[in-house]
Structure 1
Amino acid sequence: MGVKESKENVVVIEITAKTLVMILATALVLGFLSYYFLSFFSPPSPELKIGDINVKPLSGKASLKGNITNQGNVSGEVYASYEINSTVCLVVGEKPVVGEWIIVEVRDPEGHVVWVDQRKTGKNGCIPVYFGLKPDAVKGKYMLYASCRTAKASEAFMVGG
């Protein structure tokens, strides 16, 4: 690196390729150090945890009275061949996050939405996941997706095989 003065009293700084590489390498190292230093002191991020997903085959004409709706043309008892239940919990570290909305979506092996629900977390930071699958439900690997403003999670489970 050299400094030259011209006739007009203007200072010109010449930077060699080697000096430029050293400056860029130093900036990169300082950037990484700043990032890790700041992340070390930042609070932990909320995390969604999906509990064990239990798939229970139902025999005969079992009904899930908890999932009855009186809206539209569907009313009365809903018959299911499988009962699915689990929990989804929102925590920061080990502490539950209370009063946060979580939406849960379940898709069948073909990618079709088969169930959606949205609930606020309770005192334990969790929401229950409970629903039935119709008798002609597609067999195979289903996906449960859970999300809120600050986190998301997914978990696979098998139905009928």
Structure 2
Amino acid sequence: MVKALDYFQEKGWIELESKQMTEVYSVLRSDFDPQALSVELHDYFAHHEATEVARIHAMLEVFSSDQCLTHRLARYFGDYNAPEQCGHCSVCHGQIAHLPQPPALEPLDNRDFQQVCGDFIHKHQDFTGQPPSAECLTRFLCGISVPLFTRLKARATSGFALLEDYPYAQVRAWVQAML
């Protein structure tokens, strides 16, 4: 929410002021298309999510590399003049990090979608009048809380965080295929 508000302020659409611990918002422009703004925000945050995931994968690759960590980090941050061997990192001392493989998990296709999320789908539909989106279901199954889940008491609903050990993208793809 804070990122979205900061984004609105950067675009000049709202003005943020802090007033005695209460945030006050003023809409500066009302000549915008809410649907277009919704699409723009979705695209912005989807891009942000993708770049963050890529950044994390890049950092994991750096730390599990068999090349000097200092050299790899320097290159990551744009310094192409760093020596190839620093002589003091774990790799230079012959201790290459080996990240453990994730545990083998039961294929999601073996799970009964209705049994796993049926209670939540009904609860969501009763509360909002609409079925949950694939993103909402994925967050529920991965145990990622959002404000709506508090109102729905989702943590107490069977299936919450049931697939927390699975990669988020894999759960999302499964949910999308089931909807």
Give TM-score, length-normalised by structure 2: 0.21
Question: Which structure features the higher share of strand residues?
Answer: 1
Larger Rg: 1
Answer 1 or 2: higher relative contact order, Cα 8 Å, separation at least 6: 1
